[in-house]
Amino acid sequence: MTATGTTLPVKTLVKLYRTMATIRSFEERVHELFQDGELPGFLHLCSGQEAVAAGVVDHLRPGDSIASNHRNHGHALAKGVSAQSMMIELYGRAGGTNEGKGGSMHIADPAVGHVASGGIVGASAPLALGPAQAAKLDGRDDIAVAFFGDGGAQQGTVLESMNLAAVWSLPVVFVCENNVFGQATPVTYASAVPPSERAAGFGIPAEKVDGQDVIAVHEAARRAVERARSGRGPSYLEFTTYSYHGAWEGEPKRAYRLPEIEQEFRTRDPLVLLSERLAADTDDWQAVKDGIDDEIHDVIEEAVEAGRSAEFPEVSTLTTDVYADRRVTVDRDGLSSY
């Protein structure tokens, strides 16, 4: 059955709902745990932005790669990183995606094609070029996606990557999540033109799309992914969206976030929009939705229990799997001097 006004089958919409609801549940639970003082670290939640992760990543295959930024939980969950291994990582425990040594901002799992995330704003773009170039050199039709924000879009690294991707005709999709602010700076204060308009300067096709509407995201992403996969080079997608929890957890003042801007996005919440659509197109959506929500609730609670009960990493593992200066020695108290 095809949903009204789109070529997407209902089963695809239900899958997109499941992905978005998983991300929302994960993020809202992380928010509570941080408020309760249970989770350490620096957390950037993506509640409100779920449609971008779900709609883009739905087109990707296991061999495709993503590189993400500090607001990375949604991208990782959509790409198939397990909620449990992510939650263990947020608790800083062994068995997490990065063995408890990376924390929220560094979640990655190359086994499912999530090559890297990080707190260096604008770093995802050059990181995505690596797997894209490798795929091209190997003659594979795998592609890579770089996720970055409207702040990241201003970075030279992103612009240089766009240029190189165009020169080498790499299979990359640049995805700018324009959530209005880069920390407290409105995008209109930081960017001379909407970020996607710069793509024309590199000969890269671009679209600016409603990031609250997962169907619109999905359709734009399909065009960009097909272009990359068929060897026609990079594309740039700018999705307008909003972060409900602001820039980071524990951010002291959010007065810069005008209620009317927030309200505009909240009234067009991506999960609500899709849910209304499914209710109109199917007879039993409420029952299906309740079942999905219950399953997700259990998955997230199991992940929290796994995080709580996992052990902290052994001190002896402190310098494994990380770039470490050979002159640093480790003793029982942690790092000793050079």
Ligand X SMILES: Cc1ncc(C[n+]2csc(CCOP(=O)(O)OP(=O)(O)O)c2C)c(N)n1
Note the residues at the interface with ligand X (CB under 6 A). Answer: 44, 70-71, 119-122, 148-152, 179, 181-183, 247
Q: Say if residues 199 and 175 touch (Cβ distance below 8 Å).
A: no
Cβ proximity to ligand X: between 183 and 336 the closer is 183
For 4, residues 6+ apart whose C-beta sits below 8 A from its C-beta are 277, 280, 281
**Rounded least distance, CB 49 to ligand X, Å:** 8
Q: Say if residues 50 and 24 touch (Cβ distance below 8 Å).
A: yes
**Rounded least distance, CB 103 to ligand X, Å:** 14
In sequence order, which ranges of 94-229 are alpha helices (DSSP H)? 124-138, 156-167, 187-190, 214-229
Cβ proximity to ligand X: between 45 and 296 the closer is 45
**Rounded least distance, CB 259 to ligand X, Å:** 18
Cβ proximity to ligand X: between 179 and 275 the closer is 179
Cβ proximity to ligand X: between 178 and 275 the closer is 178
**Rounded least distance, CB 247 to ligand X, Å:** 5
Cβ proximity to ligand X: between 212 and 275 the closer is 212
Helix (H, G, I), strand (E, B) or coil at 170: coil
How far is the C-alpha of 47 from the C-alpha of 32, rounded, in Å?
A: 13
Q: Which residue is nearest to ligand X (CB)?
A: 149
Helix (H, G, I), strand (E, B) or coil at 335: strand
**Rounded least distance, CB 163 to ligand X, Å:** 19
How far is the C-alpha of 282 from the C-alpha of 228, rounded, in Å?
A: 34
Structure-token pair, residue 332 = 């029982």
List strands edge to edge, sheet with 172-178.
114-116, 65-67, 144-149, 172-178, 235-240, 206-210
**Rounded least distance, CB 15 to ligand X, Å:** 25
Cβ proximity to ligand X: between 46 and 170 the closer is 46
For 254, residues 6+ apart whose C-beta sits below 8 A from its C-beta are 246
